[in-house]
Amino acid sequence: MKVTAQMVKELRERTSAPMLDCKKMLEEAGGDLEKAIDLLRKKGLAAAAKKAGRITAEGAVGSYIHAGGRIGVLVEVNCETDFVARTDDFQDLVKDLGLHIAASEPRFIRREEVTEDTLAREREIYRDQALASGKPENIVARIVDGKMGKFYSECVLLEQPFVKNPDQTVEAFLAEKIAKIGENIQVRRFERFKLGEGIEKKVEDFAAEVMAQTQKA
């Protein structure tokens, strides 16, 4: 049986498991919704989803430095209790997320954080590209939707392929850890620093300003 987007949506609504895992389990189950739920439960993904609403007021701020001090990351990861925050499993999780952010350069944590201006700009670019390549108007919308899916997988932390296991997303990696550790875990915020980033642009802007003043004189 072909797995449809509606089937994936229904499974996700019933389990809150990551979308890609819902699709994969439905494919393994031959489209059988109840069997797919059982598969998710066996992997601990459905159990992890049940913890998603719990308050996460504890946790840790972790750091990761890479490339001889040229790239640095600060990331805050929250959990439910201070006890879990001090465990090796949780501390290793924070380090792994710092490593991933350093390597993959996400711009947002989840797709809900992507601003409307950013979405509109990306959609306009993809639409213009499709039209310029000669694609007929009736399939341009589908092309744009496909490219937006790729945009999310490249720019949204939870939807990126996890750097230590590209076969799963960061969201799926977190779900596994939630099931193992037994508490809700959330990435609250992060900052990624790259040595010299932005300086070149500021120098160019200053040079342009000086040139403009010279011309006026």
- The architecture CATH gives domain 58-196: 2-Layer Sandwich (3.30)
Helix runs in the chain, H state only: 5-15, 19-28, 33-42, 45-50, 82-85, 88-104, 116-132, 137-155, 170-181, 199-216
Q: Which helix (H) or strand (E) holds 188?
A: strand 186-194
Q: By C-alpha distance, which of 66, 76, 75 is closest to 102? A: 66
Tokens of 18: 């990551």
The CATH number corresponding to 5-50 among 1.10.8.10, 3.10.180.10, 3.40.50.300, 1.10.10.10 equals: 1.10.8.10
> What are 51's two structure tokens?
């913890």
Q: What are the boundaries of each domain within the chain?
A: 5-50, 58-196
pTM over 0.75: no
pLDDT tens for each residue of the chain, 217 residues long: 788 888 888 877 677 677 788 888 888 889 888 888 878 777 666 555 556 556 778 999 999 998 789 999 999 999 999 999 999 999 999 999 999 999 999 999 998 999 999 999 999 999 999 888 888 888 888 898 889 989 999 999 999 999 999 999 999 899 889 888 888 899 999 999 999 887 766 656 655 665 565 565 5
